[in-house]
Amino acid sequence: MSPLVLLGLSWLLLAQPTLVPTAATNTTASGFMKSKPGCPLKCGDLTVPYPFGIGVGSGCSIGDFFEVNCNTSFNPPKAFISTGNLEILHISDSQLRIKNTVAYVCYNQSGGLDQSYTAWTDLADSPFTFSDTANKFTIIGCNDVALITPLQGQNFSSGCVSICTKMEDVFDRFCMGIGCCQTSIHKGLKVYKATFTFLEIANRSNVSTFNPCSYSFLGEEESFEFRGSTDLLDPDFIKRTEESVPLVLDWVIGNQNCTQAEKSNTLACQKNAPCIDSDIGYGGYLCSCKEGFQGNPYLTPGCQDINECNDSNLNDCAVNAICKNSPGSYDCSCPEGYYGDGTKYQGGCNIKEAAAEASQFPVIKFFLGLSFGLLGLFICATWLHFGFKRRKLIKLREKFFQQNGGHLLSVANVEPSKIFTAEELEKATSNFSADRVLGRGGYGVVYKGILPGNHLVAIKKSRIMDEGQIEQFINEVVILTQINHRNVVKLLGCCLETEVPLLVYEYVSNGTLLHHIHKSGISWLSWENRLRIASEVAGALAYLHSAASMPIIHRDIKSPNILLDDNYIAKVSDFGASRLMSLDQTQVSTLVQGTLGYLDPEYFRTSHLTEKSDVYSFGIVLIELLTGKRPICFERPQEERNLATYFIMSMKENRLFQILEHHVVREGSLEQLQTFAELVRRCLRMKGEERPTMKEVAMELEGLRKFTKHPWANHHQQYHQETMSLMSESSDLYAVPLSPYNASTAEISGPYSLGSNTIFPTNGPR
Say which CATH superfamily domain 516-576+617-727 falls into. Transferase(Phosphotransferase) domain 1 (1.10.510.10)
pLDDT digits (tens, 9 = 90+) for 657-682: 999 988 899 998 889 999 999 999 99
517 DSSP assignment:
H
Amino acid at the residue 399:
K
The confidence score (pLDDT) of residue 361 equals: 58
How does residue 710 score in pLDDT terms, banded at 50, 70 and 90? very low
pLDDT > 60? residue 362: yes
Q: Are 320 and 349 in contact (CB under 8 A)?
A: yes
From residue 739, alpha-carbon distances to 605, 661, 742 in Å are 40, 11, 9
**DSSP reduced 3-state for 202:** coil
Q: Helix, strand, coil proportions of the chain in percent (round to 5)? A: 30, 20, 45
Mean pLDDT, residues 346-369 taken together:
70
Q: What percent of the chain has pLDDT over 70?
A: 79
Beta strands 491-495 and 502-506, pairing class = antiparallel
**DSSP reduced 3-state for 32:** coil
pLDDT > 60? residue 525: yes
Q: Which of 529, 549, 539, 449 is nearest to 486 (CA)?
A: 539
144, 231, 250, 556: which is the annotated catalytic residue?
A: 556
CATH classification of 312-358 is 2.10.25, yes or no? yes
Q: Are 160 and 167 in contact (CB under 8 A)?
A: no
pLDDT digits (tens, 9 = 90+) for 450-472: 999 889 999 988 766 565 566 66
pLDDT digits (tens, 9 = 90+) for 45-85: 999 999 999 998 889 999 999 999 999 999 999 999 987 78
Q: Are 58 and 48 in contact (CB under 8 A)?
A: no
The confidence score (pLDDT) of residue 97 equals: 96
Q: In what order do the strands lie in the sheet with 191-197?
A: 119-122, 191-197, 144-149, 158-162
Q: Are 320 and 343 in contact (CB under 8 A)?
A: no
Average pLDDT across the chain, whole number: 80
Distance CA 380, CA 180 (A): 59
Amino acid at the residue 667:
E
Q: Are 560 and 716 in contact (CB under 8 A)?
A: no
Distance CA 305, CA 49 (A): 20
pLDDT digits (tens, 9 = 90+) for 562-581: 999 999 999 999 887 777 77
Distance CA 758, CA 617 (A): 14
From residue 174, alpha-carbon distances to 177, 443, 596 in Å are 9, 21, 23
The confidence score (pLDDT) of residue 417 equals: 57
The confidence score (pLDDT) of residue 28 equals: 38
Q: Which of 731, 401, 748 is nearest to 560 (CA)?
A: 748
Residue 68, phi then psi, degrees to nearest 5: -110, 125
Please name the residues in contact with 124: beta carbons below 8 A apart, sequence gap of 6 or more: 152, 153, 190, 191
How does residue 593 score in pLDDT terms, banded at 50, 70 and 90? confident
pLDDT > 50? residue 756: no
Q: Which of 752, 446, 750 is nearest to 574 (CA)?
A: 752
Amino acid at the residue 612:
K
In 210-295, where does DSSP find H-type helix?
A: 229-233, 237-244, 258-263
Please name the residues in contact with 276: beta carbons below 8 A apart, sequence gap of 6 or more: 258, 285, 286, 287, 288
488 DSSP assignment:
B
Element (H, E) at 727: helix 716-727
- Give the orientation angle of helix 694-709 with respect to helix 611-627, to 10 degrees: 30
Say which CATH superfamily domain 409-506 falls into. Phosphorylase Kinase; domain 1 (3.30.200.20)
Q: Say how many C-beta atoms besides its own lie within 10 A of residue 561's C-beta.
A: 28
Q: Which of 689, 695, 687, 658 is nearest to 677 (CA)?
A: 658
Q: Is 556 a catalytic residue?
A: yes
The confidence score (pLDDT) of residue 748 equals: 29
The confidence score (pLDDT) of residue 36 equals: 92
pLDDT digits (tens, 9 = 90+) for 265-315: 999 999 999 999 998 888 999 999 999 999 999 999 999 999 999 988 889
Q: Are 511 and 520 in contact (CB under 8 A)?
A: no
**DSSP reduced 3-state for 43:** strand
How does residue 487 score in pLDDT terms, banded at 50, 70 and 90? very high
Please name the residues in contact with 616: beta carbons below 8 A apart, sequence gap of 6 or more: 598, 600, 601, 602, 603, 683, 684, 688, 691
The confidence score (pLDDT) of residue 461 equals: 85
Catalogue the E-assigned strands of 177-308: 180-183, 191-197, 213-220, 247-251, 275-277, 285-287, 293-294, 304-305
The residue ranges of every structural domain in the chain are: 3-93, 98-251, 312-358, 409-506, 516-576+617-727
Q: Are 74 and 265 in contact (CB under 8 A)?
A: no
pLDDT > 90? residue 256: yes
Q: Are 609 and 579 in contact (CB under 8 A)?
A: yes
Predicted TM-score (pTM) above 0.75: no
Distance CA 696, CA 537 (A): 13
Amino acid at the residue 420:
F
pLDDT > 80? residue 379: yes
Helices (H) and strands (E) counted in the chain, each on its own, are 17, 37
Beta strands 53-54 and 67-71, pairing class = parallel
Q: Are 552 and 540 in contact (CB under 8 A)?
A: no
